[in-house]
Amino acid sequence: MGKFHDHQFPGESGQYRKARDELLIAETNLRKQIEEVAEQRRNLPTGGKLKEDYRFEEGAVNLSDKNTVEQIRFSELFQKDKHSLIIYSFMYGPDWEKPCPMCTSILDSLNGTAPHLLERVNFVVVAKAPIDMIRDWARTRGWNNLRLLSSANNTYNTDYFAENSDDDQIPALNVFRKINGDIHHSWNAELLYTPTEANQNNRHVDLIWPLWNLFDLTYEGRGTDWYPKLS
C-alpha cells in the first residue's frame, strides 16, 4: 500500500513503491513550482511598447490559389476580446533549402493544439523566408491550423531576438499583450540566452514541445544523440 494513495500496480515490489513515493514527493513539488513560476510570469511589470506596427506577409495554407498573399499589420493580429498574442519564430531563412528540423517538430505538434489555443489567445508563427516558401513547406507537413507569416520585409526578427546580426535565425518565443489599446512586449523565452550549465540544455521552449516531456517519462530519457528529423 502506498504512502499517498491506495493504488498498487500488478507485481510491484515494496522497494519500487518506496522509491515511487519519494519520486511522487518530487513530482508534487515540481508541480507547485511550475504553478508558482507561472504566477510570477503573469505578475511581471508591463513590458516595453511594441517598437513599430510591423507589416507581415500572410498566405493561408489551404487557399487553392497558392499565389494569394495579404499584407497584415502586427496590430491586426489581435482579435476582438483576445488580449494576448503568442509568436513562435520559426527558423527558416530566405536562402535555406529546408527549415529547421527542431522547429518543424514543434510546429507539427502546435498544428494540432492551435484550434484549442485560439479559443482564448492569439497565436501566429513567423519566419524570415518569403511567404511562398513558408506556405509550400507547411503544405508538405499538413499545417492547416497554423497562421503563418513572413517577416522578410520588416525588422521584427532582429528587434525581438529571432535573428542576430549575422542573419542567423533563432527559435524565439515571444508573448505580447494589448493594454488599453497599446501593445506591449510581455515575455520572451530568455533561457535560450543564458549560459548553458554542465549536462544541461537551455530547453527554452520545453513548455510548448511535448516530444521531450514524453521522453522524460521513459527509461531511455531524452538521450544525447537523437534529434527530430524532417522525414
Per-residue pLDDT tens digits for 82-131: 999 999 999 999 999 999 999 999 999 999 999 999 999 999 999 999 99
| Continuous H helices in 43-179 | 101-117, 131-141, 156-159
Determine how many CB atoms are found less than 10 A away from the CB of residue 169: 22
Residue 206's pLDDT is: 86
| Overall pTM > 0.85 | yes
Question: Across residues 63-71, what is the average pLDDT?
Answer: 74
* Topology adopted by domain 55-188: Glutaredoxin (3.40.30)
Residue 64's pLDDT is: 58
Terminal CA-to-CA distance of the chain, rounded, Å? Answer: 46
Torsion of CA 35, 38, 43, 46, to 10 degrees: -170
Q: Which helix (H) or strand (E) holds 96?
A: none
The C-alpha cell that represents 38 in the structure block:
507561472
Q: Tell me the pLDDT band of 65, cut-offs 50, 70 and 90.
A: low
Residue 3's pLDDT is: 81
Buried b (16+ CB within 10 A) or exposed e, 88-99: bbbbbbeeeeeb
Residues above pLDDT 90, as percent of the chain: 77
Where do we find the cell 542567423? 168
List phi, psi (to 5°) of 77: -80, -10
Summarised one tens digit per residue, pLDDT across range 186-207 is 999 998 888 887 777 778 888 8
The C-alpha cell that represents 55 in the structure block:
507589416
Give the residue extent of every domain in the chain.
1-43, 55-188
Q: Which residues contact 57 (CB under 8 A, 6 or more apart)?
A: 69, 70, 71, 72, 130, 131, 149, 150, 152, 153
Summarised one tens digit per residue, pLDDT across range 139-172 is 999 999 999 999 999 999 999 999 998 989 999 9
* Mean pLDDT over the full length of the chain: 92
Distance CA 85, CA 83 (A): 7
Which candidate, 141, 129, 174, 1, places its Cα nearest to that of 62? 141
Residue 59's pLDDT is: 84
Alpha-carbon distances, residue 97 vs 134, 139, 171, 173, 230 (angstroms): 11, 15, 17, 23, 12
